């Protein structure tokens, strides 16, 4: 039976990837975590009794740990979703971001080259690699112009993947995954911060309690958002081509953070009005006058990527990939999930 290693399984993408593979293959799946003793496994609790899934220990920052796992498992596929993926945090921890997001990819590829050369490797790329974009939408030919330590590390990883593909003949690809969100997204990310925050505000208003305002930075930034679950099929299709190629996975639409917030408030049936401009802008709930949102400059990024929008036409044409959840459906799904969570607190 074929074997697949998936890193980052305690996070959003890795856990969704495991779910997809269990549903669509009969392979054995080994999910890696850095320290099994740390119980941040909410996203994979449903896999505890799954006979085709095993959680194993592997430290991406330790080349020997990676080598030992590749030798022991001898995988047919290696899917790397583990990363320091919080863009804003990469300015605070640039060295750790580079080690985790770039150096580790080199160690994985070298272990595959030496001990499992027929293994097919996928590394998660990012729209942040395009950075200071020169055209919209961005396709596979767009220059890499990163604006953050995170984006730079992902660009370095892309070049490492290309070198091992072209120099050593490995099947190694790194797709460009534009912003992809969902119910398993971490609370530090702006989309989940919005849906969880609005759900908490709704609960407070229902209980006639003064809500804690949601605080965000630049809400005019434009992003291309999709449902993370829709991307898992695209990743698997990339890994199963006759020859390795890399694709943009995206919705092809741009929406501002303001639009995301406004649609979430609409889903919560909260009526509001805006007052003030720029850093002085606040949203007030119409009936009570309570402030439910305000701008906080501390959440501004040192170098902002103002607009990202992907062109998925090549993936649609050559892979037959299509997304299933639209923007409004994504916001609705995330808000309803978070309202269930906060209602049970």
pLDDT at 88 (0 to 100) = 79
Interaxial angle between packed helices 63-73 and 104-115, expressed in degrees from 0 to 180 and rounded to the nearest 10: 40
pLDDT at 36 (0 to 100) = 59
Phi, psi of 283 (to 5 degrees): -105, 135
Phi, psi of 125 (to 5 degrees): -95, -175
Domains in the chain with CATH codes:
3-177 (3.40.50.720), 190-221+256-307+326-343 (3.90.25.10)
Place of tokens 């290309």: 162
Please check whether residue 129 is in contact with residue 149, taking contact to mean a CB–CB distance below 8 angstroms.
no
pTM: 0.94
Contacts of 92 (CB under 8 A, 6+ apart): none
Q: 333-342: per-residue pLDDT in tens?
A: 999 999 999 9
Distance CA 316, CA 322 (A): 6
Structure tokens at 278: 């720029």
Q: Which residues of 6-43 are buried (b: 16+ CB within 10 A; e: fewer)?
A: bbbbbbbbbbbbbbbbeeeeebbbbbbbbeeeeeebeb
Least confident of 9-23, 26-40, 171-185, 223-237: 26-40
Phi, psi of 119 (to 5 degrees): -65, 135
129 by Cβ neighbours in 10 Å (0-12 / 13-18 / 19+) ranks as buried
Alpha helices by DSSP H, 207-275: 228-239, 257-267
pLDDT at 89 (0 to 100) = 82
Integer CA distances (angstroms), 64 to 57, 67, 133, 299, in order: 12, 5, 38, 38
Q: 134-150: per-residue pLDDT in tens?
A: 999 999 999 999 999 99
Distance CA 28, CA 51 (A): 9
Q: 195-241: per-residue pLDDT in tens?
A: 999 999 999 999 999 999 999 999 999 999 999 999 999 999 999 99
pLDDT at 187 (0 to 100) = 93
Task: Please give the average per-residue pLDDT across 324-332, as a whole number.
Answer: 98
């Amino acid at each position: 039976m074929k074997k697949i290693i998936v890193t980052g399984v305690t996070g959003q993408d890795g856990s969704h990837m495991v779910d997809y593979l269990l549903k669509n293959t009969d392979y054995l799946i080994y999910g890696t975590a850095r320290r099994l003793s740390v119980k941040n496994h909410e996203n994979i609790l449903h896999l505890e009794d799954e006979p085709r899934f095993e959680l194993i220990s592997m430290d991406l920052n330790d080349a020997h740990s990676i080598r030992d796992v590749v030798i022991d498992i001898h995988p047919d596929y290696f899917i790397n979703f583990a990363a320091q993926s919080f863009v804003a945090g990469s300015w605070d921890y640039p060295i750790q971001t580079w080690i985790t997001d770039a150096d580790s990819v080199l160690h994985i590829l070298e272990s595959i080259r030496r001990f499992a050369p027929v293994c097919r490797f996928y590394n998660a790329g990012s729209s942040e690699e395009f950075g200071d974009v020169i055209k919209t939408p961005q396709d596979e030919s767009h220059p890499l112009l990163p604006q953050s330590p995170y984006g730079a590390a992902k660009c370095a990883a892309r070049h490492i993947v290309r070198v091992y593909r072209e120099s050593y003949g490995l099947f190694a690809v790194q797709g460009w995954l534009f912003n992809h969100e969902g119910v398993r997204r971490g609370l530090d990310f702006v989309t989940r911060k919005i849906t969880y925050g609005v759900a908490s505000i709704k609960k407070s208003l229902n209980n006639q309690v003064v809500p804690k305002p949601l605080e965000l930075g630049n809400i005019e930034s434009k992003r291309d958002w999709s449902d993370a679950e829709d991307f898992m099929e695209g990743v698997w299709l990339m890994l199963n081509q006759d020859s390795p190629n890399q694709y943009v996975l995206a919705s092809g639409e741009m929406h501002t953070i303001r639009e995301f917030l406004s649609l979430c408030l609409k889903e919560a049936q909260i009526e509001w009005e805006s007052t003030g401009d720029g850093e002085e802008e606040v949203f007030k709930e119409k009936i009570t006058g309570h402030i439910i949102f305000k701008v906080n400059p501390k959440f501004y990024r040192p170098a902002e990527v103002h607009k990202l929008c992907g062109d998925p036409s090549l993936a649609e044409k050559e892979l037959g990939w299509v997304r299933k959840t639209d923007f409004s459906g994504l916001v609705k799904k995330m808000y309803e999930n978070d309202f269930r969570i906060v209602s049970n607190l």
